[in-house]
């Protein structure tokens, strides 16, 4: 019985001394290093926890974090929304009456985007939308801390067009389509008259 009590005290003292050693060594923080650095695993002493937000872990180059869209390069092809497995991308398009510009890679823009929303609360960070984009306007940034107080704040709106501008573009398209339809009917009527 005395031997067992002595072994218990000995074991407790061993554990306590190990804890005190670590406590004494934890007077400074470890340096934040990337895993590619040669001495990454050699840091044995110091506080193991990263002191966020003062310290941040290095972000890998291929990390998948926050989505962003460069609307000037978007041709509103809708491929990103179609491939998204969780349906977190919502796009609306309006056909332009003429060419409205070019993207940075030279692609012709023929559609307006009055709505381009990404719900990051639904996003599973698979990166499929970035791989199918023909103009590479949708990308993943290294930013990973997007803490918000309300889940609706994770719905990002990238379209720059106001509702009034969108309505104006819709009316222009309707007018152009009506003019084309009238011209087509006039041509058909003329053909029928020429046959008589």
Closest residue by Cα to residue 124 from 68, 64, 79: 64
CA distance 91 to 159: 9
Residue 27 has pLDDT above 80, yes or no: no
Number of domains the chain contains: 2
**C-alpha pair distances (Å), 134 with each of 47, 78, 131, 137, 141:** 46, 10, 8, 8, 18
Give the domain CATH number at 97.
3.30.70.3270
Q: Is residue 8, in this structure, part of any structural domain at all? A: yes
pLDDT at 30 over 80: no
Whole-number pLDDT of residue 22 = 73
pTM, whole model, 2 decimals?
0.68
Considering only residues 114 and 57, tell me which one the structure prediction assigns the higher pLDDT: 114
DSSP characters over 133-166: -TT--EEEES------SSGGGGEEE-----HHHH
The reported pLDDT for the residue numbered 26 is: 64
Mean pLDDT across 99-121: 90
Question: Is the pLDDT score of 167 beyond 70?
Answer: yes
> Domain for residue 96, yes or no?
yes
Q: Are 53 and 116 in contact (CB under 8 A)?
A: no
Q: pLDDT confidence of 84, banded at 50, 70, 90? A: very high
Angle at 98 between CA 96 and CA 100, to 5 degrees: 75
The three-point CA angle 64-67-69 to 5° equals 140
pLDDT at 90: 94
35 falls within a domain: yes
């Amino acid at each position: 019985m005395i031997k067992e009590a002595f072994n218990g005290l000995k074991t407790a003292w061993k554990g306590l001394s190990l804890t005190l050693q670590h406590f004494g060594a934890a007077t400074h923080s470890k340096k934040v290093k990337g895993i590619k650095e040669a001495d990454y695993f050699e840091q044995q002493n110091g506080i193991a926890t990263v002191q966020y937000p003062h310290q941040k872990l290095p972000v890998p180059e291929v990390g998948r974090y926050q989505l962003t869209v460069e609307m000037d390069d978007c041709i509103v092809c809708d491929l990103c929304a179609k491939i998204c497995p969780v349906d977190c991308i919502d796009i609306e398009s309006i056909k332009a009456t003429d060419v409205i510009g070019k993207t940075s890679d030279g692609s012709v823009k023929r559609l307006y985007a009055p709505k381009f929303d990404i719900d990051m609360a639904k996003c599973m960070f698979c990166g499929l939308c970035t791989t199918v984009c023909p103009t590479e306007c949708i990308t993943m940034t290294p930013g990973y801390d997007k803490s918000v107080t309300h889940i609706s704040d994770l719905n990002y709106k990238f379209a720059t067009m106001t509702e009034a501008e969108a309505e104006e573009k819709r009316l222009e398209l309707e007018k152009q389509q009506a003019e084309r339809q009238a011209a087509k009917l006039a041509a058909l009527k003329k053909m029928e008259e020429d046959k008589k």
